[in-house]
Structure 1
Amino acid sequence: MTPFKKVLLFCHRWLGFISGLVVFIVSITGCIFCFQDEIQDAIHDHRHVTVQSAPYKQPSELISAVKTAYPNASPDFIYYFGKGRPAAVYANQGKDGFEFIYLNPYTAQITYHEKLETNFFIVVEYIHLYLLLPPAIGKWVVGVAVIIFMAIMVTGLILWWPKRKSDRKRSFTIKWGGRWRRVNYDLHNVLGFYATSIAIILAISGLAIAFKPVSKAIYDAANIGRDITYDEEVTEPKSDSLKRAGLAKQPVVDIAFAHARQQAPEAQMFLIHNDPALSGAIGVGAYAKSMHYSHATGFEFDKYNGKLLKSYIYDKKSPGLKLIEMNYDIHVGQIGGLTTKIIAFLASLICASLPITGFIIWLGKRKKAKSKATKVRGAVHHKTHRRVVQAS
């Protein structure tokens, strides 16, 4: 082994020790989360409603139903998940925490409610994002571990890559008929090779979700040569409280929802931001596919008079903004449907296995080195003993 590869092996091994446990936890929770929508749809009746010919109830009617049941609630977000799915209101109840309230979108009847911290997949998501640590600390622990893991994947690829072309064919397959240590070695190296590109994509998309500078870097890279800045394109407008003259004759959330449905008639899902505690405008996003968060068209309205302040038409967005809005769908593997979900699931599962198979390889080499050292000491002792006996 060359001195360069010895250094790489040292870095690969010790970086693995440093990040291994976090990488395992993050990978296995990501693996579980991949199919959370499908699993929850299968086991929870409240995620389905009977499609009716009647139009959706207005957002203000959903808010009114929630306020009647929860007088102290502040309805921050309103969701229309699509035909055959319920609407939902994410309500802030102050000291009582947040409540996710499901309603029939055709009748405004409350069908189910839950605190998100009691939802198994939300807990899995928080472990994935923060390891259940305070978010400000947890995201850095996870972020640093993910960056280290990307370095490990690259060093592992360099260390594993066969020198001779004749060796490459057998290096790309697992020798299932070999001894278990050989199979473990191949599981670590061969599966690691196949998962590397997908794992790095998942890692970068995750970092972009957690850290704004990473998201901006992706935005800038995709927009090279374009005269547009991140802040210019994504900064949300503010409602002007000094211009309350001419208040809207109907609730602004209803105006926003109606406008979005008119401008994006093919959209399947709508998300309305209605946080009354903030000075920001009321925003509504129209999403092309239910439960997918890319390919969105958005609008911002003055929350006092209902005036349209800004539009985010999907076809007019820059490539950079389109790309970073795909981060979630890329990260969970749903960007290309079931096929990419399965790929993301398998890649996450392999990533979870790598710290384990790598540790087993290290243990095996350590035991082998100790055994070799013991044999050498025994041989030296035997030769010395023979010389002493012969001399006497």
Structure 2
Amino acid sequence: MTFKKAVGKIHLWLGLSTGLVVFIVSLTGAIFTFQDEIRDATQSWRKVEVPTQPTPLLLPSQLQAVTERNHPGLKTAFFMLMGPERSAVVYSTNAKGEYFATALNPYTGQELGFLNLREDFFSIVQALHMYLLLPEDIGGNVVGVSVLVFVVMLITGIIMWWPKRKTDRKRSFTIKWGARWRRVNYDLHNVLGFYAASIALLLALTGLMMSYEWVMKSVYFVANAGHSYPAEKTPATVDTLQVVPAAREPLVDVFYRQMMHNSPAAKMLYIPVAASPKQPVYSIAYRKTLYYFHRDEYYFHPVSGALLKSIMHAGKSNGQKMADVNYDLHTGQAFGLGGKIVAFLGSLISASLPVTGFMVWWGKRNKPKKKPREAAVTAV
């Protein structure tokens, strides 16, 4: 068996075993790419009008009080403060552990929208993309392994497709639309797969960074040229033997004030409620709303509210910045609208590859049998 035939066998059986998962993950990824734009167009409550007169934003504790008054039985988990032109969102849980999102006007406290995230379309799409709606441990591993296999398939696919002769290359880069459907399908699989390979690899690798810690560590190691920066990787701890005075105001307000003081240019804040007096509260200040790259990270004491540790964007290593930009790369938004369009098209083509590949395999197995030629009758 030649090398290319061996690669072909690997490509075939890996594709048949993971094709359905790759199709689902790629298609849901394409749908999720423009989720913020679609939400903004269909959920008017995501944006608010800025008052003509200078008006301070409400504190997190005030938003929490409104939410828990309007929805008895829900317990606040964390806040997403989205900036002066967007509603603030309070995320809560009920006794069953289900999550809800309450959107509030950050100037008046008026409730603008309420979502049960189990019924939210894009939350379902995201869960399907990440876990196939299975338990997270099981579904996450199924998706992760399938994406790893997809990376191997992209590489083996290029090896199989690459033309031996220079004269064949031009023909290999085009789709012969006028040919029979089997040939068109074959070209769609090979040509589109080649053109989208680099984008598909980027999407796959950034997805794997979210799925597997060893992938994230590998990228961190390479980006830092093998250097280690333990200060930015080690979380703060709480000295449980030390007696500290409780904060004089609600803890979430203490966190908010310190974050705005240290990160005055931040537009979006993630602030969780203290869950345990033994665990520090990890909060994030983002430079730009709905973008996750430029972030300052904070650890606060869960009783006193004192700042235990901060990791500012400007002082981060290249490896940590690569980790921070991962989500924006995965969705394409790191490069603006153009990047999202490219990620969307790359995801759609990735979703098509298992389909066209299966049709190539099925077509080869079910070729119409040629009728045997009738024997010529010899005249006597």
Q: TM-score, normalised by structure 2?
A: 0.93
SS of the residue aligned with 1:262?
helix
Aligned amino acid, residue 196 of structure 2 = A
> Structure 2: how far apart are the matches of 1:228 and 1:235?
9
* 1:111 alignment partner, SS class: strand
* Partner of residue 175, structure 1: 176
**CA apart distance, 1:241:** 4.3
Q: Which moved more, 1:145-154 or 1:177-186?
A: 177-186
**Aligned mates of 2:157, 2:69 — CA distance in 1:** 59
Deviates more, 1:258-267 or 1:318-327: 258-267
Distance, in Å, in 2 between the alignment partners of 1:186 and 1:278 is 61
Match of 2:307 in 1: 308
Kept in 2, the 8 Å contact 1:274–1:283? The answer is no
Partner of 1:214: 215
Separation in structure 1 between the aligned mates of residue 110 and residue 305 of structure 2, nearest angstrom = 27
The equivalent of 1:134 in structure 2 is 135
Compared CA separation, residues 152 and 278, structure 1 to 2 (3 A)? farther
More helix by share: 1
Equivalences, count: 377
Matched-pair contact (CA < 8 Å) for 1:130–1:137: yes
Deviation at 1:86, TM superposition (A): 0.6
Shift of 1:321: 1.0
Q: 1:74 to 1:137 in 2, by over 3 A?
A: same
- Give the whole-Å Cα distance in 1 for the aligned partners of 2:152 and 2:309: 41
1:16-55 maps to which residues of 2 (within 5 A)?
A: 16-52=15-51, 53-55=54-56
Q: CA deviation at 1:75?
A: 1.5
| Aligned equivalents of 1:341, 1:223: Cα separation in 2 | 27
Unpaired runs of 5+ residues, structure 1, are none
CA distance in 1, matches of 2:228, 2:356: 48
1:142-184 deviation line (CA, Å, top 9, x unaligned): 1111111111111110010111122212211222232222221
Q: CA-to-partner distance for each residue in 1:251-305, whole Å, 9 max, x for gaps? A: 2322221222222222211111224246322232111211111110121111211
The answer on whether the counterparts of 2:284 and 2:296 sit within 8 Å (CA) in structure 1 is yes
Q: Is contact 1:129–1:142 with CA below 8 Å preserved after alignment?
A: yes
Residues 29 and 300 (structure 1 numbering): CA distance in 2 closer, same or farther, change over 3 Å?
same
Distance 1:30 1:122, change over 3 A: same
**Amino acid in structure 1 at the alignment position of 2:106:** P
Q: Are 1:257 and 1:284, in contact at CA under 8 Å, matched by a contact in 2?
A: no
Q: Which residue of 1 aligns with 2:115?
A: 114
Query: Which amino acid letter does the alignment assign opposite residue 35 of structure 2?
Result: Q
In structure 1, the residue matched to 2:5 is 6
Offset at residue 26 of structure 1 (A)? 0.7
What is aligned with 1:351? Answer: 350
Shift of the 225–362 alpha-carbon distance from structure 1 to 2, 3 Å rule, reads closer
Assess, with a 3 A threshold, how the Cα gap between structure 1 residues 254 and 320 changes in structure 2: closer, same or farther: same
Q: CA deviation at 1:235?
A: 3.2
The answer to whether the Cα contact below 8 Å between 2:260 and 2:266 also exists between their aligned partners in 1 is yes
> What displacement does 1:359 show?
1.4
In the alignment, is the contact (CA less than 8 A) between 1:60 and 1:253 conserved in 2?
A: yes
Partner of 1:337: 336
Report the Cα distance in structure 1 between the residues aligned to 2:21 and 2:198, rounded to whole angstroms.
20
User: C-alpha distance in 2, partners of 1:173/1:59?
Assistant: 57
Aligned residue number for residue 86 of structure 1: 87
Q: Which residue of 2 aligns with 1:156?
A: 157
SS of residue paired to 1:299? strand
Q: Does structure 1 residue 58 correspond to structure 2 residue 56?
A: no
Alignment partner, residue 260 of structure 2: 261
> What displacement does 1:316 show?
0.4
Name the structure 2 match of 1:281: 280
Return the alpha-carbon distance in structure 1 between the equivalents of residues 143 and 154 of structure 2.
16
Q: 1:345 to 1:189 in 2, by over 3 A?
A: same
Segment drifting more, 138-147 vs 57-66: 57-66
For 1:218, give the aligned amino acid.
Answer: V
Moved more, 240-249 or 252-261: 240-249
Q: 1:173 to 1:350 in 2, by over 3 A?
A: same
Name the counterpart of 1:326.
325
Q: Percent of aligned pairs with the same residue?
A: 46
State how far apart, in whole Å, the 2-side matches of 1:7 and 1:227 are. Answer: 40
CA gap 1:278/1:202 in 2 versus in 1, 3 angstroms: farther
Deviation larger for 258-267 or 192-201: 258-267
Greater Cα radius of gyration, structure 1 or 2: 1
SS in 2 for 1:204: helix
Q: Which residue is equivalent to 1:371?
A: 369
Letter in 1 for 2:235: E
Amino acid paired to 2:369: S
CA distance in 1, matches of 2:106, 2:211: 32
Does the CA-based 8 Å contact 2:274-2:302 persist in structure 1? no
Bigger shift: 334-343 or 244-253?
244-253
State how far apart, in whole Å, the 1-side matches of 2:201 and 2:130 are.
Answer: 17
Contact 1:256/1:283 (<8 A) preserved: no
Question: Relative to structure 1, is the Cα distance of residues 360 and 275 closer, same or farther in structure 2, using a 3 angstrom cutoff?
Answer: same
Amino acid at match of 1:174: I
Could you say what the CA RMSD is over the residues aligned between the two structures, in angstroms?
A: 2.1
How far, CA to CA, are the matches of 1:71 and 1:216 in structure 2? 43
